[in-house]
């Protein structure tokens, strides 16, 4: 997905939220906003939004020296989501289609995103409403068929907290598939995105092989990916792409990608089409997209 003019105000809002987490000093806050402003006339709009967001968060890091503003936020959301693990595991087990229920939870978990959102609902409420809400785009039957026959699945993680919901989905996937599963995290902290540390802290490393994307972008950007990551990407039968950033980065790709995400901005909703609106939960086979 290309960057739209509507993304520009959002980059400023994101910078402002991140900088306010780091410091109350208005001079420093102003400095960050001025740097972001200087970036605007140089922006290549044919790149994807997470590539520009990457630069915005790099500015926050460079100006403040703090490369991980959401560190404490991430720790808390991992902990909170982990405290719900057994309750959610039970809800999945009690449901008529445990993989579908785990998908719904994993998509709803994508609400835990400090990029486009300034806050999110209580994680327990997110989970509860996911169990009863339908998916606005639902390619689940095809997803399940692909998973069952896959030999290698690449799972692109997105945010802290959400990663506990990903763990639950991976556990269900392993019940119906013998595929080798690699779980991709960001190379270093950006927004509240998952890193190796997060993956280990919630036990993902016990059920999948954790690998780095090779980049600090808040999405898997193929041109920035490590050779190891690219090899896994191209050899996977199925790619499970979590979240809006990964969708924005990979929506034009031809691989067998399933996008599991909550739509968190009207620009993404419009770009996606299919009658999708802001706030919708979707499970979409990427090859259905018109730019594929």
Give residues 42-101 in contact with a second copy (rule: CB under 8 A): 45
Which strand (E) or helix (H) includes residue 98?
helix 98-108
Tell whether residue 6 is a contact of a second copy (CB under 8 A). Answer: yes
Shortest spacing between CB 42 and a second copy, in angstroms: 9
Q: Give, rounded to a whole angstrom, the gap between the first and last alpha carbons of the chain.
A: 11
Shortest spacing between CB 7 and a second copy, in angstroms: 10
Maximum Cα interatomic distance, the chain, rounded to a whole number of Å: 56
Query: In this structure, what token pair is assigned to residue 50?
Result: 């997470």
Tell whether residue 37 is a contact of a second copy (CB under 8 A). Answer: yes
> Of residues 41, 44, 65, 227, which one binds a second copy by CB under 8 A?
41
Tell whether residue 5 is a contact of a second copy (CB under 8 A). Answer: yes
Shortest spacing between CB 236 and a second copy, in angstroms: 36
What is the distance between the alpha carbons of residues 36 and 254, in angstroms, rounded to a whole number?
33
CB closer to a second copy out of 41 and 65 = 41
The interface region with a second copy, picked from 11-19, 67-75, 188-196, 227-235 by CB under 8 A, is 11-19
> Of residues 1, 18, 22, 29, which one binds a second copy by CB under 8 A?
29
Tell whether residue 117 is a contact of a second copy (CB under 8 A). Answer: no
Q: Treating both helix axes as pointing N-terminal to C-terminal, what angle do 162-176 and 140-149 enclose, rounded to 10 degrees?
A: 60
**Residue 208 exposed, middle or buried by CB count within 10 Å (0-12, 13-18, 19+):** buried
Shortest spacing between CB 6 and a second copy, in angstroms: 7
Tell whether residue 30 is a contact of a second copy (CB under 8 A). Answer: yes
Residue environment code for 239-274, b if the CB has 16+ CB neighbours within 10 A, otherwise e: bbbbbbbbbbbbbebebbbbbbbbbbbebbbebbee
Give the footprint of a second copy on this chain (CB under 8 A): 5-6, 8-10, 12-13, 16, 26, 29-30, 33-34, 37-38, 40-41, 45
């Amino acid at each position: 997905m290309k960057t739209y003019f509507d993304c520009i105000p959002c980059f400023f809002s994101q910078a402002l939220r991140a900088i306010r987490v780091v410091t109350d000093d208005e001079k420093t806050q102003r400095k960050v906003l001025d740097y972001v402003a200087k970036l605007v006339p140089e922006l290549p709009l044919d790149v994807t939004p997470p590539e520009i967001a990457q630069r915005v968060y790099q500015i926050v890091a460079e100006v403040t020296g703090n490369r991980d503003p959401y560190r404490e936020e991430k720790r808390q959301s991992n902990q909170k989501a982990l405290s719900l693990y057994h309750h959610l595991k039970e809800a999945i087990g009690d449901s008529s289609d445990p993989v579908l229920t785990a998908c719904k939870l994993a998509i709803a978990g994508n609400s835990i995103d400090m990029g486009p959102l300034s806050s999110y609902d209580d994680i327990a409420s997110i989970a509860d409403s996911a169990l009863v809400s339908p998916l606005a785009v639902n390619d689940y039957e095809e997803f399940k068929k692909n998973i069952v026959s896959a030999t290698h699945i690449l799972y692109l993680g997105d945010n802290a907290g959400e990663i506990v919901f990903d763990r639950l989905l991976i556990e269900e996937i392993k019940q119906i598939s013998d595929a080798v599963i690699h779980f991709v995290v960001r190379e270093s902290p950006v927004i509240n995105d998952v890193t190796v540390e997060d993956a280990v802290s919630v036990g993902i490393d016990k059920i999948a092989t954790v690998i780095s994307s090779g980049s600090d972008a808040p999405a898997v950007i193929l041109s920035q990916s490590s050779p190891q990551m690219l090899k896994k990407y191209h050899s996977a039968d199925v790619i499970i792409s979590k979240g809006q950033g990964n969708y924005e980065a990979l929506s034009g790709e031809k691989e067998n990608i399933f996008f599991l995400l909550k739509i968190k901005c009207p620009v993404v909703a419009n770009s996606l089409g299919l009658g999708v609106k802001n706030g919708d939960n979707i499970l979409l086979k990427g090859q259905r997209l018109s730019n594929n």
